[in-house]
Amino acid sequence: MTTIVTGNGISGDDWADRDVFAFDCFWNGQELPEEPLAVAFPNDREAADLVPWLDRIGLIVVDFPAFSDGRGFSVARRLRELGYRGRLRASGPLVSDQLRAALKVGFDEVAVAPSVAARQPASHWKVGAQESYQDRIAV
Amino acid sequence: MYMYDDFDAAFVRGRVAEFRDQVARRLDGTLSEAEFLPIRLKNGLYLQLHAYMLRIAVPYGTLDSRKMRQLAYIADRWDKGYGHFTTRTNIQFNWPKLKDVPDILDALADVDMHAIQTSGNCIRNVTADHFAGAAADEIEDPRPTAELLRQWSTDHPEFAWLGRKFKIAVIASEHDRAVLKSHDIGVRIVRGVADEPGYEIFVGGGLGRTPMVAKQIRSFLPKAHLLPYLESILQVYNLQGRRDNKYKARIKILVHETGIDRFRELVETRFQEKLPQFNGVNQKILRRIEGSFVPPAFEAAQPMPPVLGAGLQSWIDTNVAAHRLDHYGIVTVSLKGIGETPGDASSDQMRLLADLAEEYAHDELRVSHEQNIVLPHVPRRHLPAIYDRLKAAGLATANIGLISDIIACPGMDYCALATARSIPVAQQIAERFHELGLEHEIGPMKIKISGCINACGHHHVGHIGILGLDRAGVENYQITLGGDGTETTVIGERAGPGFSYDEIVPAIERIVSAYLDVRTDPEETFIECFRRVGMTPFKEALYPPEEARSNAA
Amino acid sequence: MAKKFNPKMATGNDLLEGDVVYFSDGRWTRVIGEAELALSPEAEADLLGRASQFPNQVVGVYLTDVKLDDAGRAVPAHFREDFRMLGPSNRPEHGRAGQGA
């Protein structure tokens, strides 16, 4: 089962039984259920494309192909700037040292890759209380 | 000088504790080497040829005696008694042990210093004009803006994992002493039509494999708009910059491939969206920062003691620049002693520089990108005393701006990326022209040497640039001519085939002889001469026809 | 015609100290003269495989060409490895010269 980390600790994936639809599901002609959907977000796509459908989305899963590929951090910031208020998940081999930044840019949670989860116990996934320079200069 | 408040101090200590924990997790295997590598780089720690190397940030090149003495202490306690000042105005120690690095970082925090973001694919240490606060031609001190950018960029959650490194410089005068246009973003402080303060912004400069001169993206940006504008540039870059090829991942490539006009549109659109998110608090912070960069309590003019001795006179003529006050001077202490390693200082030399700053120069020191140390505020009456003390420590070389004032990266004597040595080439060039007694005859001349294509030695913007390569397992040196790193930035032109390690110094000598032959008069500098006559006479000197070569032999 | 095979050794840097180290039959040594040599392509793959089993002790492990000097001792074939062996040429006092003997 996928390990989900939030600012409050580790949990299981409560979306695991439901589908995650492709980024282009709203305009590729496929049949979609009525309830809020989960949508996969490859990190080279344009966030503005999802704007007309944001209120139909309950979860956006932003892909991190590598922990060092930081495009997802800007994707999250952009989605929040564009008004998305639903759940936002970072998914990929992120390491615990990146949790703080992920939460700061607007992610609610990180789906930890099994390869990383196997090595990094729950105690490593902590945020700390430290204020950031960006909080201080209010950006 | 900026003094840490409680927040800065707690932040830096927090980062030291975090790194200590990361080292422990690396050692117990919960962090892999692949994961640890970018984390240690973001804390300034490289693994070089012989050992680890710790690069410590000197924000906008500014130090005081307390900081300089602590660097000397670190050199003695944990390293081999010396450090290397770099072209990014940082200092590097070449021999730290991984297990000691958290303690070194704590020692830095004791004096309000750190090594954060001196490497890695993030926003690097912000540089500024090394004459800031002392130059007669500046509009205002550029360092408060640089400090605001340091704070904004430190641990920025969105921009900690960029496609590539990102360098920002700030200047505040027409004359560019900070190689502004070779930066990813260059910020120049200007005044608007109604004399209102603002910035001219350049983007997409860089040296390395594909050298580019930064292009103007905004001719005037009101001061309060700086952070949202820079966030817009960074966000466009982070999302759209190439990630498929390390050598095409800098913003210069994105700007080049997108075109500056289209790139500007993308940034300006983003900027209009972002502007309302910024509530002006950063301008209150900026004003508080400005309050900590007040000029020192300058003394009144007093008589200058007589200058006795040609050595002192020559040093004053060559190493002391005009200050905004007539009875002050800006002293550049050369770390380019003839035959020495450019940019290296021993711990004793560091302590002497700290003493001189404290006793004579309002306790301020600067690191220049040309790898020298500057005392920015020196009453001229103290020049003889300072000269005597420097001389006794081997630091009174009168060669600033001359042929032996060479920029050289560490090259293959230290660097894991290097393809050839830089340091011995610099040493030999300096020794050769000193031996010929030609330094002053040749006049202003900037030689810059890089030991690999990454161009840390700025060879593209040297009047004479030297690039060391590995050609089939042998060191080979390519020459570029006509480069310029000032407000009239030009990327140097390649002269032709490279030279072996043994041939490179004679080749430089032939270039210089050709210059002395073709210049109109001694007032025409090398770069002026090159601009007038072009490459041809230098090419002929470098690559004489076979016949001439055998006649000369 | 088959390309002539260059003997290889495995080298890296000590994780804790950063020092240059060479692999020798299941352990790491700072003495280049003790380095184990691979004399065939098969031995080369085997050497790298065995040298890569120490991720929490040695980092950046790679193979590099060696040649044999007149006395039959292994010396680096490339100048980069000479500098790694000898230390910075501008500060010979920090060098490790002699350790290869």
CA distance B408 to B86: 9
In a domain, A129, yes or no: no
Residues B86 and B212 in one domain: no
C-beta neighbour count of A63 within 10 angstroms? 20
A92 vs A112: CA distance, rounded Å: 6
DSSP-assigned letter for residue B278 = -
Residue A134 lies in a domain: no
Q: What is the ipTM of this complex?
A: 0.96
Q: Is the model's pTM score more than 0.90?
A: yes
Q: Residue A47: inside a domain, yes or no?
A: yes
Helix (H) or strand (E) holding B474: strand B474-481
Q: Which residues pair with B328 in a beta bridge?
A: B379
Q: Is B35 at the interface with chain A, CB within 8 A?
A: yes
A137/B292 Cα distance (integer angstroms): 17
Query: How many CB pairs below 8 A link A and B?
Result: 101
pLDDT band at C74 (very low <50, low <70, confident <90, very high): confident
Residues in B touching A131 (Cβ below 8 Å): 7, 11
- Asked if B278 lies within 8 A of A139 by C-beta distance, the reply is yes
Q: Where are the domains of chain C?
A: 1-66
* Nearest one of B276, B291, B366 to B321, comparing CA atoms: B366
How confident is the model at residue B422, as a pLDDT? 98
Query: B278 — contact with chain A (CB < 8 Å)?
Result: yes
Output the average pLDDT for chain B.
96
| Phi and psi based region of residue B226 (left: phi greater than 0; alpha: psi -120 to 50; beta: remaining) | alpha
**What's the domain count of chain A?**
1
Chains touching A, CB cut-off 8 Å, 3+ pairs: B
Show which of B361, B392, B423 is a domain's final residue: B392
Q: Which of B33, B52, B470 is closest, CB to CB, to C55?
A: B33
Which chain B residue shows the shortest CA-CA distance from A76? B158
Pick from B51, B424, B475: which is nearest to C79 by CB?
Answer: B475
Structure confidence at residue B231 as a pLDDT band (50, 70, 90): very high
pLDDT of C100 reads 39
Rounded-to-integer distance, Cα B519 and Cα B472, Å: 38
Statement: residue B320 has pLDDT above 70: yes
Interchain contact, A134 vs B152, CB within 8 Å? yes
* Contacts with B29 from chain C: Cβ below 8 Å: 55-56
Long-range contacts of A28-35 (CB under 8 A, 24+ apart): A32/A56
Tell me which residue in C18, C90, C91 faces B97 most closely, judged by beta carbons: C18
Q: What is the CATH number of the domain that holds B369?
A: 3.30.70.3340
CB B71 within 8 A of CB B85: no
Strand B474-481 and strand B464-471: the pairing is antiparallel
Are residues B184 and B267 both part of a single domain? yes
CA dist B510 to B302, B484, B543, Å?
47, 21, 10
Partner-chain residue, chosen from A102, A120, A130, that has the shortest CB–CB distance to B30: A120
Residue B546 neighbours by CB under 8 Å, 6+ apart: none
Q: Are residues B57 and B165 in the same domain?
A: no
Question: What confidence tier does C68 reach under pLDDT thresholds 50, 70, 90?
Answer: confident
Interchain CB distance below 8 Å, C16 and B413: no
Query: Within a domain: residue B532?
Result: yes
The answer to whether residue B397 sits within a structural domain is no
Q: Is the dihedral of CA B341, B345, B346, B348 positive or negative?
A: positive
* Cα B206 to Cα B252: distance, rounded to the nearest angstrom: 7
Domain that holds residue B154: 142-291
> What is the distance between the alpha carbons of residues B365 and B369, in angstroms, rounded to a whole number?
13
Interchain proximity B51–C80, CB inside 8 Å: no
C27 has a chain B CB within 8 A of its CB: no
At A1 the pLDDT is 67
Distance from C32 to chain B by nearest Cα, in Å? 14
Report the CATH number at residue B34.
3.90.480.20
Of A73, A97, A105, the CB nearest to B39: A97
| Nearest C-alpha in A relative to B243 | A69
Residue B135 lies in a domain: no
Question: Is there a contact between A74 and B235 if contact means CB atoms under 8 Å apart?
Answer: yes
Res A127: pLDDT: 81
Give the three-state DSSP class for C74.
strand
The string of DSSP letters for A58-117 reads EEEEEE-SSTT-THHHHHHHHHHHTT--SEEEEEES--GGGHHHHHHHT-SEEEE-HHHH
Q: Is residue B302 part of a domain?
A: no
Specify the pLDDT at position C2: 58
pLDDT over 80 (residue C30): yes
- Asked whether B218 and B203 are in contact (CB, 8 A), the reply is no
Task: Give Cβ neighbours of residue C22 (< 8 Å, ≥ 6 apart).
Answer: C9, C10, C11, C28, C29, C30, C31, C32, C34, C35, C36
3-state SS, B444-470, equals CCCEEEECCCCCCCCHHHCCEEEEEEE
Question: Model confidence at B75, in pLDDT bands (50, 70, 90)?
Answer: very high
3-state secondary structure B361-425: CCCCEEECCCCCEEEEEEEHHHHHHHHHHHHHCCCCCCCCCCCCCCEECCHHHCCCCCCCCCHHH
B1 CA: distance to closest CA in chain A (Å): 19
**Chain A contacts of B32, Cβ < 8 Å?**
119
- Tell me whether residue B422 is exposed, middle or buried, using C-beta atoms within 10 angstroms of its C-beta: 0 to 12, 13 to 18, 19 or more: buried
- Note whether B283 and B319 are same-domain residues: no
Residues of A in contact with B281 (CB under 8 A): 137-138
For residue C80, the chain B residue with the least C-alpha distance is B412
Q: Are residues B374 and B436 in the same domain?
A: no
DSSP helix/strand/coil, C60? strand
Residue A131 belongs to a domain? no
CA distance B414 to chain C (A): 6
CA distances (Å), origin B373, targets B203, B220, B277: 28, 33, 41
The answer to whether C30 contacts chain B (CB < 8 Å) is no
Structure token pair of residue B437: 């007694």
Query: In this complex, which of A74, A121, A132 lies closest to B239 when CB atoms are compared?
Result: A74
Specify whether the CB–CB gap between B404 and B104 falls below 8 A.
no
Q: Is residue B122 part of a domain?
A: no
Considering only CB atoms, which chain C residues are within 8 Å of B474? Answer: 79
Range B33-67 burial, b when 16+ CB lie within 10 A, else e = bebbbbbbbbbbbbbbbbbbbbbbbbbbbbbbbeb
Does B279 sit within 8 Å of A73, measured CB to CB?
A: no
Same domain, B334 and B198: no
In this structure, what token pair is assigned to residue C3?
A: 């390309």
Of B413, B410, B502, nearest in space to B450 by CA = B410
- Is the model's pLDDT at C99 over the cut of 60? no
Query: Which residues of chain B are within 8 Å of residue C89 when distances are taken between CB atoms?
Result: 413, 421, 423-424
Asked if residue B443 is part of any domain, the answer here is: yes
Chain B residues whose beta carbon lies within 8 Å of the beta carbon of residue A92:
none
For residue C22, the cross-strand partners are C11, C29
Strand ranges across the sheet with B82-85: B45-47, B52-56, B91-93, B82-85, B344-346
Q: Clarify whether residues B347 and B442 are in a common domain.
A: no
Residue B528 lies in a domain: yes
Structure tokens at B531: 């601009």
When divided into structural domains, chain B yields a total of: 4
- Say what percent of chain B tops pLDDT 90: 95
pLDDT tens by residue, B478-535 = 999 999 999 999 999 999 999 999 999 999 999 999 999 999 999 999 999 999 999 9
Report yes or no: B413 and B420 within 8 Å, Cβ to Cβ. no
Mutate to test the interface with B, among C90, C91, C93, C94 (most CBs of B within 10 A): C90
Longest dimension (CA), chain B: 75
- The answer to whether the beta carbons of residues B420 and B475 sit under 8 Å apart is yes
Q: Which residues in chain B touch residue C82, judged by CB atoms under 8 angstroms apart?
A: none
Q: Which domain holds residue A61?
A: 3-124
pLDDT in tens, chain A (139 residues): 688 999 888 888 999 889 999 999 999 999 999 889 999 999 999 999 999 999 999 999 999 999 999 999 999 999 999 999 999 999 999 999 999 999 999 999 999 988 888 888 888 888 876 789 998 887 5
Q: How far, CA to CA in Å, does B9 sit from each of A11, B14, B108, C24?
A: 35, 9, 11, 47
Distance from the B42 Cα atom to the nearest Cα atom in chain A, whole angstroms: 12
- Kindly state whether residue B147 falls inside one of the protein's structural domains: yes
Q: What is the rounded distance in angstroms from the CA atom of residue B339 to the CA atom of residue B430?
A: 6
- B63 vs A131: CA distance, rounded Å: 26
B105 and B153, same structural domain?
Answer: no
Q: B256, B291, B326: which is the final residue of a domain?
A: B291
| Chains contacting C (3+ CB pairs below 8 angstroms) | B
Nearest CB to B98: which of C15, C78, C87? C15
Cβ count within 10 A of residue B30: 19
User: Measured between CB atoms, does B242 come within 8 Å of chain A?
Assistant: no
Q: Do chains A and C touch (3 or more CB pairs under 8 A)?
A: no
CB contact under 8 A, C84 and B49: yes
Cα(C38)–Cα(C63) distance, integer angstroms: 9
3-class secondary structure, A133: helix
Which of B459, B442, B438 shows the shortest CA–CA distance to B450?
A: B459
Does the CB of A135 have a partner CB in chain B at under 8 Å?
A: no
